[in-house]
Structure 1
Amino acid sequence: MTYFKHNVTEEQNKTRLDKVLAEINPERSRSQIQTWISKNHVLVNGEPAKANHKCQTGDEITWSIPEVEPLDIKAEDIPLSIVYEDSDLLVVNKPKGMVVHPSAGHQNGTLVNALLYHCKDLSGINGVERPGIVHRIDKDTSGLLVVAKNDHTHVHLSEQLSNKEIKRKYEAIVHGEITHETGMIDAPIGRDPKDRQKMGIVDNGKPAITHFKVLKHFPDFTHVECQLETGRTHQIRVHMRYIGFPLVGDPKYGQRKTLDADGQALHAKSLAFVHPRTEEWLEFEIDAPVVFQEVLETIRKMY
């Protein structure tokens, strides 16, 4: 294991520890650095410290970069819908019902299991359970995801995500008729204090912004397109419920009486970003799955 040392400069005085390390290690993501800190691979003046520790001029920071753990997740021959692939990344159309990465209760059948069978070279930044995964969508949300094959690609895509440069659009079907054509929801999201299994609008939550426009009005439903400015857990589902228009079929945030959409009627329809190596602007779009189209058709037939 290799060890590194850095003395905090005057310019870095009173700067968070994770930010100082991010400046020194630009090829590493902030989340990766925070993992080093949480596992005590980083010391300040010989003592473990937290990520939000305010460094002082002259502090000695020492750290080690842990060796990448060998992947022990089972590769599975699961069909993948690959929209684009090159030596650095893949864009996949994740089907509704597939979990993105292994977790308690979902060790097999995930997108990661399928990716490991398809290609052996995935970035290791997100650790053993989430190789290559730059961003996620929920199990019952279908649509486009970009996957990194190496750490260089992962770091650059994560930076674009953090800087709000990756463009992501979704389409959804919600309960209730939204009478105006466009809107923006700006409300912080965090763990629901009354139910830790849910997210909610909370004062000390992380900033979250969703833009939406109406694609089709119905008397009791609305077909909308949502564009994320941030990417919080369950963001669209929480935001649309917050303004009084919960997603059709949503078992966690929706109405008790709803249409059968086999989970929330939400589809990640388009994805656009700058290729980390070629610097080419790439845009992808994919149609919503059959079950989504069937729900729309059911609604059309009601009126």
Structure 2
Amino acid sequence: METLRFEVEQADDKKRIDVFLAEKISEYSRSYIQKLIKDGLVLVNGEKVKPNFKVKPGCIIDVTIPPPQEISLQPEPMELDIVYEDDDIVVVNKPQGMVVHPAPGNYSGTLVNALLYSCDELSGIGGIIRPGIVHRLDKDTSGLLVVAKNDAAHRSLAQQLKDRTLKRVYWCIVEKNIKGDKGVINAPIGRHPINRKKMAVLNAPTAKPAVTHFKVLERFGEYTLVEARLETGRTHQIRVHMAYIGHPVVGDSVYGSRKQKFNLKGQVLHAKKLGLIHPSTGEYMEFEAPLPEYFENLLDILRKNYTKN
């Protein structure tokens, strides 16, 4: 069990305590900090408080971090769309709505649980809750990702990510009409300074370089079908970058409009193509996943009801 102590300075006057602590302890999410507060593990001048408590200069805040719980992931039989599999890798077409790997409070129903059931072995480099996971897709992003079945494959794929040679091409539908036919968004991304669950384009030392190449595939007046290729792979990169240039992904209530017209379950973003050098053979391999039903349905609506420019 770990105890952390903070003294509030003038610059933090009247901040909510959960916001204050999320800034001070960036490795923990704001929701986790709120749970600590509700569990009585956060004391201000020795007293329990609520998550909306406003701190004042001179306040002494003690935070007790409980020891991590032992995790035992269970293999779960789930239908997976496996595009390719051999002794080193497995390429999966993940459906929208599926979480890639377990996280605190969500240890079942994930892609990892399904892979543990269908694969005899997964790489251990990712740790207990991320076996085999080299890169991720957001819960509501569909499409291709590659999973490593042994440590050598994991190291090879991770190096390809680092060297920016792993090809990842996405299709998305964004709001408004993009004027140009193609472009490059070169804008560093880091954790949002206030909402720790979000990412943002930042001019700060903590932000990491992020580059997205995009081109217009089809126009619908108020909407645009776009192909986006990742040069880097930051969390929420395409979603953040498209919102940054004024064209958030349709259905993205985090970085776009909270009011959605089309009764969507999440952002219309699909990892359509994946290219990699096979860890054992050295052969370049490329895979493509067809657009899922939710994506095709929206395209049909736009083609029938919206004027193209």
- The normalised TM-score by structure 2 is 0.74
Q: Contact (CA 8 Å) 1:99, 1:106: kept in 2 or not?
A: no
Structure 1 runs not aligned, ≥5 long: 1-69
Give me the whole-angstrom Cα distance separating, in 2, the residues matched to 1:266 and 1:189. Answer: 19
Give me the whole-angstrom Cα distance separating, in 2, the residues matched to 1:292 and 1:262. Answer: 11
Give me the whole-angstrom Cα distance separating, in 1, the residues matched to 2:120 and 2:84. Answer: 17
Equivalent position of 2:41 in the other structure = none
Give me the whole-angstrom Cα distance separating, in 2, the residues matched to 1:260 and 1:84. Answer: 33
Q: Which of 211, 214, 217 in structure 2 is aligned with 1:215? A: 217
1:192-238, Cα deviation, whole Å (9 max, x unpaired): 11211110011121000000000101110000000000000000000
Letter in 2 for 1:213: K
Give me the whole-angstrom Cα distance separating, in 2, the residues matched to 1:232 and 1:128. Answer: 22
Equivalent position of 1:175 in the other structure = 175
Runs of 4+ in 1 over 6 A off after TM superposition: none
Equivalent position of 1:235 in the other structure = 237
Q: Contact (CA 8 Å) 1:101, 1:110: kept in 2 or not?
A: yes
Q: Contact (CA 8 Å) 1:188, 1:203: kept in 2 or not?
A: yes
Letter in 2 for 1:239: H
3-state SS of 2:197 partner: strand
Equivalent position of 1:76 in the other structure = 76
Letter in 2 for 1:238: V
Alignment of 1:48-59 (within 5 A): none
Is 1:292 the counterpart of 2:295 in the alignment?
Answer: yes
Give me the whole-angstrom Cα distance separating, in 1, the residues matched to 2:263 and 2:240. Answer: 19
Give me the whole-angstrom Cα distance separating, in 1, the residues matched to 2:146 and 2:109. Answer: 19
Letter in 2 for 1:161: L
Give me the whole-angstrom Cα distance separating, in 1, the residues matched to 2:105 and 2:171. Answer: 28
Alignment of 1:256-267 (within 5 A): 256-258=258-260, 259-267=262-270
Equivalent position of 2:271 in the other structure = 268
Give me the whole-angstrom Cα distance separating, in 1, the residues matched to 2:99 and 2:176. Answer: 29
Q: Which moved more, 1:259-268 or 1:182-191?
A: 259-268
Q: Contact (CA 8 Å) 1:176, 1:245: kept in 2 or not?
A: yes
Give me the whole-angstrom Cα distance separating, in 1, the residues matched to 2:234 and 2:135. Answer: 10
Alignment of 1:25-36 (within 5 A): none
Give me the whole-angstrom Cα distance separating, in 2, the residues matched to 1:261 and 1:132. Answer: 30
Equivalent position of 2:67 in the other structure = none
1:163-215, Cα deviation, whole Å (9 max, x unpaired): 00000000000000002110000000001112111100111210000000001
Q: Contact (CA 8 Å) 1:176, 1:220: kept in 2 or not?
A: yes
Equivalent position of 2:127 in the other structure = 127
3-state SS of 2:143 partner: strand
Letter in 2 for 1:282: M
Give me the whole-angstrom Cα distance separating, in 2, the residues matched to 1:215 and 1:97. Answer: 25
Letter in 1 for 2:160: Q
Shift of 1:262: 1.4
1:228-257, Cα deviation, whole Å (9 max, x unpaired): 000000000000000000010002111133
How many residues align structurally?
A: 234
Q: Contact (CA 8 Å) 1:133, 1:148: kept in 2 or not?
A: yes
3-state SS of 1:195 partner: coil
- The normalised TM-score by structure 1 is 0.76
Shift of 1:154: 0.2
Q: Contact (CA 8 Å) 1:122, 1:132: kept in 2 or not?
A: yes
1:106-150, Cα deviation, whole Å (9 max, x unpaired): 211000000000012100001000000010000000000100000
Give me the whole-angstrom Cα distance separating, in 2, the residues matched to 1:201 and 1:290. Answer: 31
3-state SS of 1:297 partner: helix
Identity %: 57
Letter in 1 for 2:152: H
Q: Which of 241, 247, 256 in structure 2 is aligned with 1:245? A: 247
Give me the whole-angstrom Cα distance separating, in 2, the residues matched to 1:261 and 1:163. Answer: 35
Shift of 1:71: 7.7
Structure 2 runs not aligned, ≥5 long: 1-69
